[in-house]
Chains A and B, each alone.
Chain A
Amino acid sequence: DQQVKQNSPSLSVQEGRISILNCDYTNSMFDYFLWYKKYPAEGPTFLISISSIKDKNEDGRFTVFLNKSAKHLSLHIVPSQPGDSAVYFCAFGNSGNTPLVFGKGTRLSVIA
């Protein structure tokens, strides 16, 4: 039972343009939503999150959008920079303190 789908394994974007990463989910019990960034040989690092009571959260160049009716989560990075090149995982949780569920990851390459 795949609760989370992160269907794009990779994405290439020109420096300065917008990067859009997407995840879809099926479990309506999820009520907080996160994005993690991972460089090679390092652990995932928390990037940005959103709770189910919001549809948008912005932090600098990073904006997370939540469409609850479509069960869709996205991350926008603008402008994209070469240092943003990494694997991005979406993660989903609920207030029952059950462990986070991770997507499969999208490898973002920002080309100078």
Chain B
Amino acid sequence: DTEVTQTPKHLVMGMTNKKSLKCEQHMGHRAMYWYKQKAKKPPELMFVYSYEKLSINESVPSRFSPECPNSSLLNLHLHALQPEDSALYLCASSQEGNRDRADGYTFGSGTRLTVV
């Protein structure tokens, strides 16, 4: 299994809703990432988990709350989002501590989030 699976593919939520994005990989990767991508922009790093511990938080607002229940799963809990948070949310994974990073990250297909 060489894929990163993200669910749901599309999500529309109101500003008072609570929802979660899910990401799963079974490649044995120990680093997992959340990225946010707006149209015509590069992926913007949000969070990095390394060995199931949060290692990087790129000053993301607290309305985004990541969780890593185990080495294969990564969640992003959403609460009280704003319309400007509408974007493509990408999950990625990579080998951790492996200096032969020839293949970089494996990305999921993303969740297209619309906040209304």
In B17-43, the 8 Å CB interface with A consists of 31, 33, 40-43
B104, A95: Cβ atoms under 8 Å? Answer: no
Number of B interface residues in the complex (CB < 8 A): 29
Residues of B within 8 A of A103 (CB): 42
Given contacts A93-B101, A93-B104, 6 further A-B contacts (CB under 8 A): A9-B40, A43-B90, A46-B106, A97-B50, A102-B42, A102-B43
Interface residue stretch chosen among B61-69, B70-78, B108-116 = B108-116
Partner of A99, one of B42, B45, B88: B45
CB nearest to B48 among chain A residues: A99
CA separation between A104 and B107, bound complex, in Å? 17
Q: A41-B112, A99-B56 are in contact. Are A89 and B101 (CB under 8 A)?
A: no
A49, B90: Cβ atoms under 8 Å? Answer: no
CB nearest to B10 among chain A residues: A41
Interface flags for A1-12 (1: CB within 8 Å of B; 0: not) read 000000001000
In A53-112, the 8 Å CB interface with B consists of 89, 91, 93, 95, 97, 99-100, 102-105
B42, A32: Cβ atoms under 8 Å? Answer: no
Q: Is B60 an interface position by the 8 A CB rule?
A: no
Residues of B within 8 A of A95 (CB): 99, 101
Residues of A within 8 A of B108 (CB): 43
Residues of B within 8 A of A16 (CB): none
A45, B107: Cβ atoms under 8 Å? Answer: yes
Residues of A within 8 A of B31 (CB): 97
Residues of A within 8 A of B88 (CB): 41
CA separation between A45 and B108, bound complex, in Å? 9
Residues of A within 8 A of B105 (CB): 46, 100
Residues of B within 8 A of A97 (CB): 31, 50, 96-97
Partner of A44, one of B40, B41, B43, B102: B43
